[in-house]
C-alpha cells in the first residue's frame, strides 16, 4: 500500500509538470482521474469503486463513473445501469455505456430489454448493435428486402466474426418464408474472409450455409494445395464452393500458382460466377503485387458485376498501370461495375471521368466535365486534381464569416468539448478524443452544423490541440476555413530549418500534418515519435549523417531536435529519389526499399502511381501528404499551385543517375 502511495505521488508530480507546461494548474481530482484510468486498464474493480467517491464533482466524474460501472457491467443489475444512464443523461459516457449494455443484452438474447433501450441509442455507430437491432426487428415484424440488404452489407463488411452480425445472418439464411440471404451471399462472405486469412469468419459463414462440410473447409483453408490435390472433380454445388474457397486462399499466397492450378484442372468444373470470382481474386492479388500480368487475369472475367468492389478497385489500378497510357476502357468498365456507394469515391469519379475524356464522344466528355466540376475543390487529393483537369489551379478559397462572440462562447461552454479538452490536457488523450468526436459528430443526428464545427475547431486551435482542430474543421461541408484546416504551428522553426537544407517548407508541413497532426508527444504503434514520427534507429542514423553530435534517444520528442532529424531524413530520402515527392513520401512512411521496388514498371503520371501503392496506409499517406503540401504552398506563397507538378511522373530509376544515400534505412 505504501508503494502504491509513492507511485501516486510520483504520477501527481509528473502530472503537475505536464499541466504547468501547458499553462494550467493541476485541478483537484486530476490525479484521481488518472489513477482511475489506470485501474480501468488493469480491470481493478475494487480500486475503481474505492476511488470513485473522490472524483465526485470533478469535470471528469462521468468518466470515472463509466470506468467503475463498465468494469463490472456483466454483474451489474439493470437498475444500476438505468441509474447511471439517468444521472449522466446527455453525456458521451451515458451513450457509451448504453452501447456496452446493448451488446451485453444482445449476447444474453434479452430481446425485450434490448428493444426497450435501443431507441435511446444516439451514436448508432456500432455495426454489431445495429445487427442485433435488425434481428429484433425481424423477429417482431418479419424480414423485408431492405432489412436483408442491410444485414448483408453489415455482415459482409465485418472483418472478424462477431455475435451480432453472424447471428442476424444465420437467422436470415435457410428456407424460411419471406426475403432471405441467398446461399451465394454466404459463400461470398466465406470467400472474402478466406482471401484475407480470416479463418474464423470464413468457417462461421460455412457453418451457416453448409455445416456438414465445416471440417473440410478447415482443411481447405489450412492447406489449399493439398486439399485440391486430393479432390476428385467437383460435382455438387457445395463441393464446387469448397474448391473455390481453396483456390481463393491459394491465390492470396501465390496468385501465379493459383492461376496455373485453376486453369489446368478446375476452371471447367466451376460455374461462371465461381470462375469469375476466382479470376478476380487472382487478378487482385497480382495487381497488389504490381505484377505486369494482373490485367490479363482480370480479362478472363466474363462479367465484372460478379466481382466485389475491392477486386474492381484493383482492376482499375491495374488498368492505370498498364503502360505509358492507361487502359481506359478497362478503367471505365471496372468503375461502372462497382456498387453505387463505391462509385461515389472521389478516386473512381476522377479516373472514370479521365477515361471518358480520353476515349468518349462529345456526350461522354460533357458528362466527364460535369462530374469533375462537381468534384473540383481544394479540399483533397482528387478534388485538387479535378480542379487542374478543368484548367484551374489550387488557390486559397474565401474564408467564411468570422465567428461571432456567441458562437465562440457556445463552444467554450459545451460540456462535452470542455470534458474532452480537460482529459487531453492531463494525459488521457484517447478518452478525450473519443468524447470530442462524439460531441462533434454523433451527439445529434448528422453531427454539428458547420458554424458549430468551426467554433469547436477554433477552440481546439486556441488550446493547441491541433489534431482536434484539424479533424473538426475538415468535417464542415459548405463553410470551408482553409487556414484553420491547415494550421502552421512552430512556423519559425519549420521554415528556418527547411530553408537551411533547401527543403520546401510546404512539403514538410504536409508531411507533419499527416504524421502527427502536430502532437508533440505523438507515438505510433511501431515506436515512431514526435512531430515527424521518427523511429529510434532512423533517428540515430540520421543524427550521425547530419552531424548532430551527442544525440540520445531521449531527445527525440524535443521539438527542435525532432524537426532537425525529421527534415534531415526527408532531405536524404528526397535526394535518393532524385527529388520525387511521391516516392520520397512513400519511402518516409513504408521505407526506401519498398519505394524503390514500387517504382519499377512503366513510367506513369504520379497520381496513377500513387493510386497503385500496394499498402492502403501508404497509398492514403502519399495522397494526403501531397495534397497537404499543395494547400500549404498556397497559404505560404499566396500564389496558385499545382498538385500535378508536385506529383510529376514516376518510373524506374535512371541507370545514369548518380547513387545517393543507398544505405538509408
Mean per-residue pLDDT of the chain: 92
Q: Is residue 522 a contact partner of residue 516, using CB atoms and an 8 Å limit?
A: yes
- Give the per-residue pLDDT at 549: 85
CA distances to 35, 144, 169, 179 from 149, rounded to whole Å, are 46, 9, 11, 10
Same fold, 405-480 and 491-650: no
Contacts (Cβ under 8 Å, ≥6 apart) of 131: 151, 154, 155, 162, 164, 165, 167, 168
pLDDT in tens, 348-403: 999 999 999 999 999 999 999 999 999 999 999 999 999 999 999 999 999 999 99
pLDDT in tens, 170-194: 999 976 778 999 999 999 999 999 9
**Measured in Å, how far apart are the chain's first and last C-alpha atoms?**
47
What does the alpha-carbon distance between residue 216 and residue 70 come to, in Å, rounded to a whole number?
41
pTM of the predicted model as reported, rounded to 2 decimal places: 0.92
Question: Which of 2.120.10, 1.10.1240, 1.10.3470, 1.10.10 is the CATH number of 405-480?
Answer: 1.10.1240
Residue 217 has pLDDT above 90, yes or no: yes
Q: What's the DSSP call for residue 177?
A: S
- Give the per-residue pLDDT at 661: 67
Contacts (Cβ under 8 Å, ≥6 apart) of 2: none
Number of neighbouring beta carbons within 10 Å of residue 445: 7
Is residue 16 very low, low, confident or very high in pLDDT (cuts 50, 70, 90)? very low
Question: Which of 3.40.50.1370, 1.10.530.10, 1.10.10.10, 1.20.1250.20 is the CATH number of 491-650?
Answer: 1.10.530.10
| Angle CA 21–27–28, to nearest 5 | 140
Q: Is residue 270 a contact partner of residue 278, using CB atoms and an 8 Å limit?
A: yes
Q: What's the DSSP call for residue 226?
A: H
Query: Cell for 341?
Result: 456507394
User: What is the residue whose three cell numbers read 447471428?
Assistant: 167
DSSP letters of 193-214?
A: HHHTT-HHHHHHHHHHH-GGGH
Pick from 77, 80, 39, 92: nearest CA to 52: 39
Contacts (Cβ under 8 Å, ≥6 apart) of 407: 451, 452, 454, 455
Query: Cell for 134?
Result: 435488425
- Give the per-residue pLDDT at 12: 37
Count CA atoms within 13 Å of residue 344 on its CB side. Answer: 2
What does the alpha-carbon distance between residue 360 and residue 375 come to, in Å, rounded to a whole number?
19
pLDDT in tens, 530-553: 889 988 888 999 999 999 888 888
Which residues on adjacent β-strands are paired with residue 605? 649
Is residue 13 very low, low, confident or very high in pLDDT (cuts 50, 70, 90)? very low
Residue 50 has pLDDT above 60, yes or no: yes
Domain boundaries, the chain: 2-120, 127-325, 405-480, 491-650
- Give the per-residue pLDDT at 660: 64
SS3 449: coil
What does the alpha-carbon distance between residue 626 and residue 643 come to, in Å, rounded to a whole number?
7
Pick from 514, 520, 442: nearest CA to 475: 442
pLDDT in tens, 272-325: 999 999 999 999 999 999 999 999 999 999 999 999 999 999 999 999 999 889
Burial of 230 (0-12, 13-18, 19+ CB in 10 A): exposed
User: What is the residue whose three cell numbers read 475543390?
Assistant: 377
Query: Cell for 150?
Result: 442491410
Residue 116 has pLDDT above 90, yes or no: yes
What does the alpha-carbon distance between residue 587 and residue 246 come to, in Å, rounded to a whole number?
35
Count CA atoms within 13 Å of residue 211 on its CB side. Answer: 4
What does the alpha-carbon distance between residue 610 and residue 351 come to, in Å, rounded to a whole number?
13
User: What is the residue whose three cell numbers read 507533419?
Assistant: 512
Amino acid at each position: 500500500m505504501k508503494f502504491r502511495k509513492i507511485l501516486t505521488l510520483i504520477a501527481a508530480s509528473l502530472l503537475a509538470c505536464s499541466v504547468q507546461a501547458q499553462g494550467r494548474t493541476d485541478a483537484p481530482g486530476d490525479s484521481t482521474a488518472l489513477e482511475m484510468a489506470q485501474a480501468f486498464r488493469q480491470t481493478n474493480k475494487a480500486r475503481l469503486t474505492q476511488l470513485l467517491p473522490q472524483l465526485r464533482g470533478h469535470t471528469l466524474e462521468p468518466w470515472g463513473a463509466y470506468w467503475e460501472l463498465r468494469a463490472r457491467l456483466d454483474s451489474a443489475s439493470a437498475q444500476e445501469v438505468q441509474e447511471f444512464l439517468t444521472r449522466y443523461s446527455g453525456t458521451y459516457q451515458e451513450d457509451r455505456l448504453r452501447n456496452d449494455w446493448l451488446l451485453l443484452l444482445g449476447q444474453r438474447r434479452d430481446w425485450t430489454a434490448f428493444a426497450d433501450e435501443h431507441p435511446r441509442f444516439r451514436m448508432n455507430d456500432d455495426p454489431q448493435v445495429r445487427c442485433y437491432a435488425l434481428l429484433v426487428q425481424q423477429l417482431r415484424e418479419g424480414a423485408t428486402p431492405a432489412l436483408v440488404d442491410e444485414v448483408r452489407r453489415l455482415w459482409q463488411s465485418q472483418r472478424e466474426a462477431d455475435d451480432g452480425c453472424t447471428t442476424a445472418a444465420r437467422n436470415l439464411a435457410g428456407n424460411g418464408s419471406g426475403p432471405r440471404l441467398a446461399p451465394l451471399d454466404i459463400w461470398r462472405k466465406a470467400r472474402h474472409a478466406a482471401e484475407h486469412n480470416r479463418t474464423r469468419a470464413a468457417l462461421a459463414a460455412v457453418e451457416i450455409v453448409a455445416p456438414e462440410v465445416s471440417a473440410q473447409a478447415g482443411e481447405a483453408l489450412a492447406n489449399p494445395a493439398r486439399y485440391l490435390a486430393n479432390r476428385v472433380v467437383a460435382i455438387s454445388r457445395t463441393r464446387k464452393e469448397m474448391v473455390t474457397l481453396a483456390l481463393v486462399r491459394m491465390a492470396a499466397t501465390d496468385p501465379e500458382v493459383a492461376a496455373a492450378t485453376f486453369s489446368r484442372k478446375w476452371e471447367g468444373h466451376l460455374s461462371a460466377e465461381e470462375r469469375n470470382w476466382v479470376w478476380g481474386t487472382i487478378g487482385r492479388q497480382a495487381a497488389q503485387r504490381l505484377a505486369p500480368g494482373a490485367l490479363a487475369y482480370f480479362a478472363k472475367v466474363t462479367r465484372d458485376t460478379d466481382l466485389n468492389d475491392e477486386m474492381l478497385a484493383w482492376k482499375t489500378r491495374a488498368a492505370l498501370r498498364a503502360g505509358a497510357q492507361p487502359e481506359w476502357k478497362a478503367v471505365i468498365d471496372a468503375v461502372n461495375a462497382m456498387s453505387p456507394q463505391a462509385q461515389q469515391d472521389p478516386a473512381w469519379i476522377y479516373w472514370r471521368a479521365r477515361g471518358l475524356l480520353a476515349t468518349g464522344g462529345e456526350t461522354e466528355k460533357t458528362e466527364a466535365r460535369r462530374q469533375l466540376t462537381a468534384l473540383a475543390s481544394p479540399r483533397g487529393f482528387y478534388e485538387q486534381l479535378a480542379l487542374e483537369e478543368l484548367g484551374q489551379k489550387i488557390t486559397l478559397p474565401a474564408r467564411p464569416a468570422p465567428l461571432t462572440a456567441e458562437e465562440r462562447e457556445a463552444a467554450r461552454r459545451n460540456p462535452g468539448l470542455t470534458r474532452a479538452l480537460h482529459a487531453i490536457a492531463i494525459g488521457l488523450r484517447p478518452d478525450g478524443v473519443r468524447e470530442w468526436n462524439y460531441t462533434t459528430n454523433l451527439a445529434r443526428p448528422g453531427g454539428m452544423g458547420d458554424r458549430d464545427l468551426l467554433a469547436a475547431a477554433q477552440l481546439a486551435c486556441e488550446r493547441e490541440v491541433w489534431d482536434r482542430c484539424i479533424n473538426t474543421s475538415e468535417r464542415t461541408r459548405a463553410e470551408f476555413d482553409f487556414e484553420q484546416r491547415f494550421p502552421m504551428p512552430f512556423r519559425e522553426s519549420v521554415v528556418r530549418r527547411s530553408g537551411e537544407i533547401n527543403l520546401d517548407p510546404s512539403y514538410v508541413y504536409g508531411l507533419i500534418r499527416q504524421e502527427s497532426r502536430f502532437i508533440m508527444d505523438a507515438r505510433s504503434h511501431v515506436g515512431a515519435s514526435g512531430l515527424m514520427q521518427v523511429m529510434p534507429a532512423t533517428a540515430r542514423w540520421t543524427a550521425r549523417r547530419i552531424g548532430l553530435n551527442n544525440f540520445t534517444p531521449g531527445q527525440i520528442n524535443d521539438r527542435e531536435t525532432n524537426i532537425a532529424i525529421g527534415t534531415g531524413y526527408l532531405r536524404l530520402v528526397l535526394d535518393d529519389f532524385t527529388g520525387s515527392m511521391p516516392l520520397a513520401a512513400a519511402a518516409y512512411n513504408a521505407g526506401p526499399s519498398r519505394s524503390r521496388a514500387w517504382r519499377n514498371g512503366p513510367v506513369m503520371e504520379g497520381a496513377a502511381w500513387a493510386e497503385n501503392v500496394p499498402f492502403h496506409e501508404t497509398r492514403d499517406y502519399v495522397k494526403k501528404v501531397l495534397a497537404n503540401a499543395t494547400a500549404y504552398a498556397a497559404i505560404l506563397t499566396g500564389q496558385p499551385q499545382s498538385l500535378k507538378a508536385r506529383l510529376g511522373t514516376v518510373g524506374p530509376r535512371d541507370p545514369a543517375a548518380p547513387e545517393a544515400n543507398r544505405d538509408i534505412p
